[in-house]
Structure 1
Amino acid sequence: MTGTKKFTRLSAAAAAVALLAVTACGGGNNAEGGGDEDSQEQVQLRFAWWGSELRQANSMAIIEAFEDEYPHISVEGEFADWAGYQDLLATQFASRDAPDIVQLDDEFIREYADRGVLLELTDIDTSDIDPTILEGGQAEGVQIAIPTGVNALVMMANPELFDEAGVELPDDTTWTWDDFDEITQTIHEETEAFGTNNPIMQVMRVWARQQGEHLFTEDGQYGLSVEQTEEWFQTLYDWSQAGTLPNASLMVEEESATMEDSLIATGRAALGTSWTNQLPALTTASGVDLVPLRMPSPTGNAEDNGLWFKNTMLIAGNAGTEHPEEVQLFIDFFINTEEAGLHNMMDRGLPINETVRAAVVDQVDAQDQVVAELIDSLGGEITDPEPMLPVGYGAISDSYTRYLQEVMFERMTPAEAAEAFVADAESNLGS
Structure 2
Amino acid sequence: MHRSVHRRLAPAAVLTAGALLLSGCGAGSAAGDDGDVTLRFYWWGHDGRHENTQELIDIYEEENPGVTIEPEYSDWSGYWDRLATQTAAGEAPDVIQMDALYLREYAENGTLLDLSAMDFSGLAAGVRDAGATDDGVWAMPHGMTVMTLAANDSMIADSGVELPDDTSWTWEDFSGYAAELAEATGEYGVSPLLESAGLQTWLRQHGKQVTTDAGELGFEPADAAEYFQFQLDLLAEGGYPPPSASAEEQPPGSAEQSMNGRGEAVMGTWWDTMIGGLSEYADSSFTPLRMPSTDGDGDHQMFFKPSMFYSGSSSTEHPEEVRDFIAFLATSEESAEINLTDRGMPAAEGALETIRDELTEQEQVLADYAAELDAEVGDPTPIPPEGASGFPDHIYRYSQEVLFERQTPQEAAEAMHAEMQADLDQAG
**Pair in the same fold by TM > 0.5:** yes
Secondary structure at the counterpart of residue 99 of structure 1: coil
The residue number in structure 1 matching 2:147 is: 153
TM-score by length of 1: 0.89
The residue number in structure 1 matching 2:11 is: none
Cα deviation 1:104-143 (Å, max 9, x = unaligned): 1111111011111110114433221133311111121621
- Letter paired with 2:68: S
The residue number in structure 2 matching 1:230 is: 225
Cα shift at 1:20? 5.1
The residue number in structure 2 matching 1:344 is: 339
The residue number in structure 2 matching 1:116 is: 110
Secondary structure at the counterpart of residue 209 of structure 2: coil
- CA separation of 1:95 and 1:21: change in aligned 2, threshold 3 A: closer
Answer whether contact 2:15 2:47 (CA < 8 A) is retained.
no
Answer whether contact 1:124 1:331 (CA < 8 A) is retained.
no
Residue number among 257, 260, 263 corresponding to 1:264 in the alignment: 260
Size of the aligned set, in residue pairs, is: 404
Residue number among 47, 54, 63 corresponding to 2:57 in the alignment: 63
Answer whether contact 1:11 1:84 (CA < 8 A) is retained.
no
The residue number in structure 2 matching 1:73 is: 67
- Using the alignment, how far apart are the partners of 1:64 and 1:257 within structure 2? 35
Residue number among 286, 293, 310 corresponding to 1:290 in the alignment: 286
- Using the alignment, how far apart are the partners of 1:109 and 1:418 within structure 2? 27
Answer whether contact 1:125 1:336 (CA < 8 A) is retained.
no
- Using the alignment, how far apart are the partners of 1:21 and 1:402 within structure 2? 38
Secondary structure at the counterpart of residue 219 of structure 1: coil
- CA separation of 1:75 and 1:11: change in aligned 2, threshold 3 A: farther
Residue number among 347, 372, 389 corresponding to 2:367 in the alignment: 372
Q: Does 1:143 align with 2:137?
A: yes
Residue number among 404, 411, 418 corresponding to 1:409 in the alignment: 404
Answer whether contact 2:41 2:70 (CA < 8 A) is retained.
yes
- Using the alignment, how far apart are the partners of 1:261 and 1:249 within structure 2? 16
The residue number in structure 2 matching 1:49 is: 43
Question: Structure 2 stretches of 5 or more lacking a match?
Answer: 1-13, 25-31
Cα deviation 1:333-378 (Å, max 9, x = unaligned): 1122111221111111111111333312243230111111111111
The residue number in structure 1 matching 2:425 is: 430
- CA separation of 1:350 and 1:20: change in aligned 2, threshold 3 A: closer
- Using the alignment, how far apart are the partners of 1:10 and 1:165 within structure 2? 40
Rg larger for: 1
Question: Structure 1 stretches of 5 or more lacking a match?
Answer: 1-8, 24-37
- Using the alignment, how far apart are the partners of 1:374 and 1:204 within structure 2? 22
Answer whether contact 1:10 1:79 (CA < 8 A) is retained.
no
Cα deviation 1:232-284 (Å, max 9, x = unaligned): 11111121222221011111111254311211112211111001111111111
Q: Does 1:395 align with 2:376?
A: no
- Using the alignment, how far apart are the partners of 2:17 and 2:186 within structure 1? 44
The residue number in structure 2 matching 1:169 is: 163
Percent of paired sites with the same residue = 37
Answer whether contact 1:159 1:291 (CA < 8 A) is retained.
yes
Q: Does 1:215 align with 2:214?
A: no
Answer whether contact 1:165 1:186 (CA < 8 A) is retained.
no
Cα deviation 1:12-55 (Å, max 9, x = unaligned): 67xxxx965569xxxxxxxxxxxxxx997200100000000000
Cα shift at 1:301? 3.2
Q: Which moved more, 1:291-300 or 1:253-262?
A: 253-262
Secondary structure at the counterpart of residue 263 of structure 1: coil
TM-score by length of 2: 0.90
- CA separation of 1:147 and 1:44: change in aligned 2, threshold 3 A: same
